[in-house]
A and B are shown apart, each in its own frame.
Chain A
Amino acid sequence: MIEIKNVTKKYGDKKALDNISFTVNDGEIFAFIGHNGAGKTTLIKSIVGIHDFEEGDIIIDGVSIKENPLECKKKIAYVPDNPETYEHMKGIDYLNFICDMYEIDQETREKNIKKYASIFEIEDKLTDTIESYSHGMKQKIVLIAALAHEPDILIMDEPFVGLDPKAVFDIKKILNEMIKDKKIVFYSTHILDVAEKLCSRVAIIKNGKIIKSGSMKEIKGDKSLEKVFMELEAEK
């Protein structure tokens, strides 16, 4: 479970996150939506331990990220909005590196790398250096790295950007498999119709504040998520 409790993050005098609180339960795919600059990436980076925050706390399965960041990080996998990798490394070396950092045993990593490389059709590219990859391929290698250590919580920032339709389809399938195992998927997106179909719960952020959160049904009612979002955005 992810518990976000009264989190406030400032850049100088400006509040990027303003007293944010909500919970993501096990077995949920949680969509986090908002306009550009609303604070989505800032919150995601705070959850995964990239950003520090001034007030509040983030609790991962009962452990505070502020007090025991390593314990929390072991459970999380993060997929950034731009695929950040070590370009000079070969794809397989990068995957081995990430697995080494999570101390994944030989058997598990072998099984997972083979499985996901095959799903994303990248097996024959793993011996190439990452700098020779296209944007989509880099995104795939980051996804494989995230999934290879079997995280309890998968946090993604705009995961579908740059991916081909088949890869998007495959990811959706993988995410659905994950929630069957009671894992958590938390992701930010601008593709609202995918979020509407895929996610059980949603939070909408505007100017650093959560303006709506709850189950998908509660939030959208009979309307589409897009319409609800546009109405909320129009409100002052």
Chain B
Amino acid sequence: MKKIISLTKATMSNDMSLFKIYSKNNKLQKIAPLIIGFYLMIMIWFFANTLFEKVAPYHLQVYQLTIFAFSIVIMTFIEGIYKSGAILFKCKDDSILLPLPISKKTILLIRMFKFYLFEVLYNSLFLLPIMLAYIRWAGSLTITYFITSILFLLIFPIIPIILSCTIGVITSSVVANFKHKNAMQTVLSLIFLIGFLMIYTNIDSFLEYFIKNIANINEILTKIYYPIGMYLKLLTNFQIIDVIKLLLVHSIIIVIFISILEKFYFKINSKTMVVRAYKNKTNNVYKVIAHNQRYSLIKKELSTFFNTPVLIINAGFALVLYLLIVLYITIKIDGIMNILTNIEGIKITKEILLKNSSIYIFLLVSMTSFLTSITNSSISLEGKNINILKVLPIKPTRLLLAKIESYLIVTTIPLWLGIIILYIRLKLSLIDTFLLLLLAILLPLISHLIGLLVNIKYPKFDATNQTEIVKQSMSSFLSVMIGMLLIALTYSIVGPQIGKIKPHIILSLAILISSIINIILSVILIKIGVKEFNKLSI
């Protein structure tokens, strides 16, 4: 037991350093993440309050609470699909842990535990404010509510993690046999992710049934996902026997999963670590080609991007979703119009929708842009290679600009593609289309500049795997929060103006504001970012 505690402590001290802050002197740097985390929780609290208020007259607060919890379970599962492969396999600490006289099951357990602990912390950011908001609307509350809520904060991530780890193991075992492992890992994870999203968004008939049978919601939730149903049951009728049953079920699931996985985990792991030098037998001749610095730096950045599956999936998620929405709009525009114009209480006509379609596209582009901050990991992903860059005779500004330029290519191309498709389908005006194309550069640029600045300030060079950098670092956390704030701001400012101000004026103003923001951020990058970059070293 002492061994396990010591091992857990050692791995946690390195891997769970989400809140590791490098500067000891800068108070703002220390407080900023806490402020942003707190801000996020308040935002969620307000959001939850609004929804509880709406369902309160129908006495559906408890169902609303379980729906919130279910959404977070889904989020954990989706995230887990692309995180699990990198968390379980090809870990940098393999060379430390595997030679140690500890059972392989222990190593596997520790890795799963790390994943679990992070998800508990991450989910708490969302669930805690929701659970607190519920107190106001629940009427009378007993101590069992708090016990149940705390218990479920710990229980909820278990099954999504086990399911996503199963997918992670399947993809990794398939990928291990391929030449281009990273590309295969990306493709398979995306297939699982998109597949799940398609199933999840095509459950209209199920939702219909769900709404009609609201009285049997407990039964339905239990059928969909046992812990959610049990959560609802315990909230309404707390029985200690149910708690024991719940803990027992989860314990059995964990034991079965670990026992099965243990049998072939290390075989797959060692296979994924093997890097074979595949050769084209007829072409073994190397080419020496000179390029300019800028081209070469962009090529290097793109090569890093396309060789980091978790980064592609993380960035690709919003972009793929954007393209899917564009395709959906293109195919089902009439259906969408009918639904929107028939919503009770909202007076909207097809003409108004079409007239303002460029604004809706702008909102879609802004959401995609602010959710796609690839640069927030670009410094951390350099790892020890940051020293290579620092030795090179290139200005730091040039290095940082290359990162921005590379990721602008990645984001702008799909955004442009979507705008052009919608221009053709919705017959947008040329001026609006041109303004949208410009915004598809300016908005991701804001996101990339913020991501890069945050990553320079909060780099993570000691990660055991790339997932920790891309998904579990202070830098990615902060940029996601800032991105969400920007989305909320854009929607709250632009939303009320739709129909009141002409679309091209709104778009022009958006260009003006985003240009100013970009200029300010660029100045900060050149003046402060470069200074901070020069301080980085391993």
The residues of A with any CB-CB pair to B shorter than 8 Å are 45, 48-52, 70-71, 73-74, 76, 78, 80, 82, 84-86, 88-93, 95-106, 109-110, 113-114, 123-129, 131-132
Q: Which residues of A contact B346 (CB under 8 A)?
A: none
- The reply to whether A50 and B390 contact each other, CB–CB distance below 8 Å, is yes
Query: CA of A105 to CA of B288 in the docked complex: distance in angstroms?
Result: 10
Query: CA of A95 to CA of B537 in the docked complex: distance in angstroms?
Result: 23
Q: Which of B281-300 contact A (CB under 8 A)?
A: 283-293, 295-297, 299-300
Whether, in the assembled complex, B207 has its beta carbon less than 8 Å from a beta carbon of chain A, the answer is no
Query: CA of A110 to CA of B284 in the docked complex: distance in angstroms?
Result: 16
Q: Which residues of A contact B293 (CB under 8 A)?
A: 100-101, 103
Q: Across the two chains, which residue of chain A brings its CB closest to B394?
A: A101
Q: Across the two chains, which residue of chain B brings its CB closest to A114?
A: B288
- The reply to whether A70 and B275 contact each other, CB–CB distance below 8 Å, is no
Assess A127 versus B385: contact at CB under 8 Å? Given A52-B535, A92-B288: no
- The reply to whether A70 and B393 contact each other, CB–CB distance below 8 Å, is yes
Assess A126 versus B286: contact at CB under 8 Å? Given A88-B307, A96-B296, A101-B293: yes
Q: Across the two chains, which residue of chain A brings its CB closest to B395?
A: A70
Q: Which residues of B contact A113 (CB under 8 A)?
A: 286, 288
Whether, in the assembled complex, B391 has its beta carbon less than 8 Å from a beta carbon of chain A, the answer is yes
Q: Which of B245-294 contact A (CB under 8 A)?
A: 275-277, 279-280, 283-293
Additional A-B contact list (8), CB under 8 Å, known A70-B394, A85-B388: A48-B391, A50-B537, A52-B535, A82-B384, A89-B300, A124-B284, A125-B277, A129-B277
- The reply to whether A88 and B290 contact each other, CB–CB distance below 8 Å, is no
Q: How many residue pairs between the two chains, A and B, have CB atoms under 8 Å in the bound complex?
A: 105
Query: CA of A88 to CA of B381 in the docked complex: distance in angstroms?
Result: 12
Choose among A48, A88, A127 the residue that contacts B303 (Cβ–Cβ < 8 A). A88
Query: CA of A73 to CA of B438 in the docked complex: distance in angstroms?
Result: 38
- The reply to whether A127 and B291 contact each other, CB–CB distance below 8 Å, is no
- The reply to whether B393 and A52 contact each other, CB–CB distance below 8 Å, is no
- The reply to whether A110 and B288 contact each other, CB–CB distance below 8 Å, is yes
- The reply to whether B537 and A45 contact each other, CB–CB distance below 8 Å, is yes
Tally of contact residues, B, Cβ under 8 A: 38
Q: Across the two chains, which residue of chain B brings its CB closest to A84?
A: B384
- The reply to whether B393 and A101 contact each other, CB–CB distance below 8 Å, is yes
Query: CA of A96 to CA of B290 in the docked complex: distance in angstroms?
Result: 7
Q: Which residues of A contact B288 (CB under 8 A)?
A: 92, 95-96, 99, 106, 109-110, 113-114
Q: Which residues of A contact B342 (CB under 8 A)?
A: none
Q: Which residues of A contact B201 (CB under 8 A)?
A: none
Whether, in the assembled complex, B100 has its beta carbon less than 8 Å from a beta carbon of chain A, the answer is no
- The reply to whether A74 and B391 contact each other, CB–CB distance below 8 Å, is no
Q: Which residues of A contact B13 (CB under 8 A)?
A: none
Q: Could you give 29 example pairs across A and B, Cβ below 8 Å? A: A45-B387, A45-B537, A48-B391, A49-B390, A50-B390, A50-B391, A52-B534, A70-B393, A70-B394, A70-B395, A71-B393, A73-B392, A80-B387, A84-B384, A84-B387, A85-B385, A86-B303, A96-B291, A97-B300, A101-B293, A101-B297, A101-B393, A101-B394, A109-B290, A127-B283, A128-B277, A131-B275, A132-B275, A132-B276
- The reply to whether B292 and A50 contact each other, CB–CB distance below 8 Å, is no
Whether, in the assembled complex, B304 has its beta carbon less than 8 Å from a beta carbon of chain A, the answer is yes
Q: Which residues of B contact A124 (CB under 8 A)?
A: 284
Q: Across the two chains, which residue of chain B brings its CB closest to A77?
A: B391
Query: CA of A51 to CA of B538 in the docked complex: distance in angstroms?
Result: 9
Query: CA of A68 to CA of B349 in the docked complex: distance in angstroms?
Result: 65
Interface membership of chain B positions 118-152, coded 1 if the CB is closer than 8 angstroms to chain A and 0 otherwise = 00000000000000000000000000000000000
